[in-house]
Homo-oligomer: A and B are copies of this chain.
Amino acid sequence: MQVGFIGLGQMGSGIATNILQAGNAVTVYNRTRSKAEPLAARGAKIASSVADACRGEAVFTMLANDDAVERVVFGEGGVLGSLSTGATHVSSSTISVALSKRLAAAHRDAGQHFVAAPVFGRPDIAAAGKLFVIAAGTPEALRIVSPLLEAFAQKIFAVGDAQETANLIKLSGNFLIAVVIESLGEAMALVAKAGVDRQAYVDILTSTLFGAPVYKTYGALIAGGVFEPAGFAAPLGLKDMRLTLAAAEDLRVPLPLASLLRDRFLTLLAQGGDKLDWSAIGTLAAKDAGEGT
């Protein structure tokens, strides 16, 4: 297939590479052109504008936040005005439920397909082509893009034709991960102050009731205390708590844990954590308990 790919951050680069290696003709666009060069070396074409990346049957966007997606889609020379009738925009960014609804309506009005396909997994998983994809769109649109999604997915969960449902599930998943990080941070602060080795504690947890990748990954990160380079930066964590709370506000669902986590991210950023991995909120409980003072 002729596919465009916009947004070559850590996640986007891995995804685009897998789509390319599956045999598709991929045209990539990134605001900072140098990030496109590794893909060009593997055979991708570099677009000089967003519009140039929208000439094929489908275009992916994998961008940092709502603002970036709005600019790239609704701006002059953007995806909405450049994509052919019947072509599909696949949005893999973690964006708000409200923006997903707005994108769905705009593409429908323009005679284009819109698929929301946010992913679970960190950059190493994206590079390995083993992401979990939560996909929503019309059955026809999902059928068209499924070979592309399969190129980078460990598993695809189709969750219906209301696109924003995929985004809500993605946000709720990031909320649940953030809860795991904070709860590990608190539990580890407690046992460590009683003299228990942090990694030994994580090993007990993950070989008993908590044997999920998320406990292993984040337990090791917190125990190791190394948060740079960020696989998923703290400001993105704050963004996702904000988007979760915004969706919850629209639906009128109070979420006390999400509110608490929003404050944790604010604390981390207030203390200079902008460049750190979001798992660094897992150090705040130990700091509150006097560690390092």
Interface residues of A, Cβ cutoff 8 Å to B = 97, 120, 132, 134, 155, 157, 159, 162, 164-165, 168-169, 172-173, 175-177, 179-180, 182-184, 186-187, 189-191, 193-196, 200-201, 204-205, 207-215, 244, 247-248, 251-258, 260, 285, 288-290
Question: Do B212 and A257 touch (CB < 8 A)?
Answer: no
Question: Do A211 and B212 touch (CB < 8 A)?
Answer: yes
* A244→B212 CA distance, assembly (Å): 23
- Given contacts A165-B194, A183-B257, is CB(A173)–CB(B212) below 8 Å? no
- Expressed in whole angstroms, the minimum distance between the Cβ of A281 and any Cβ of chain B is 11
A157 contacts across to B, CB distance below 8 A: 204, 208
* A257→B210 CA distance, assembly (Å): 18
- Given contacts A183-B176, A215-B212, is CB(A253)–CB(B205) below 8 Å? no
* A186→B245 CA distance, assembly (Å): 11
Question: Do A208 and B132 touch (CB < 8 A)?
Answer: yes
* A190→B248 CA distance, assembly (Å): 6
* Copies of this chain: 2
**Would you mind naming 11 contact pairs between A and B with Cβ atoms under 8 Å apart?**
A168-B191, A172-B187, A175-B187, A180-B183, A186-B255, A186-B257, A190-B244, A190-B251, A190-B255, A193-B253, A257-B257
A258 contacts across to B, CB distance below 8 A: 186
- Given contacts A179-B183, A214-B209, is CB(A196)–CB(B159) below 8 Å? yes
Which residue from chain B places its CB closest to the CB of A210 in the assembled complex? B212
- Expressed in whole angstroms, the minimum distance between the Cβ of A270 and any Cβ of chain B is 16
A257 contacts across to B, CB distance below 8 A: 179, 182-183, 186, 257, 260
Question: Do A285 and B255 touch (CB < 8 A)?
Answer: yes
Contact of A251 among B159, B172, B180, B194 (CB under 8 A): B194
A256 contacts across to B, CB distance below 8 A: 186, 260, 285
A172 contacts across to B, CB distance below 8 A: 187, 190-191
Question: Do B289 and A251 touch (CB < 8 A)?
Answer: yes
* A169→B172 CA distance, assembly (Å): 28
Question: Do B251 and A193 touch (CB < 8 A)?
Answer: yes
Which residue from chain B places its CB closest to the CB of A186 in the assembled complex? B255
Which residue from chain B places its CB closest to the CB of A263 in the assembled complex? B256
Contact of A209 among B187, B211, B212 (CB under 8 A): B212
Interface core residue of A209, A215, A247, A248 (most chain B CB under 10 Å): A209
Question: Do A213 and B204 touch (CB < 8 A)?
Answer: no
- Given contacts A209-B177, A210-B214, A288-B254, is CB(A162)–CB(B195) below 8 Å? yes
Question: Do A208 and B120 touch (CB < 8 A)?
Answer: yes
Question: Do A191 and B169 touch (CB < 8 A)?
Answer: yes
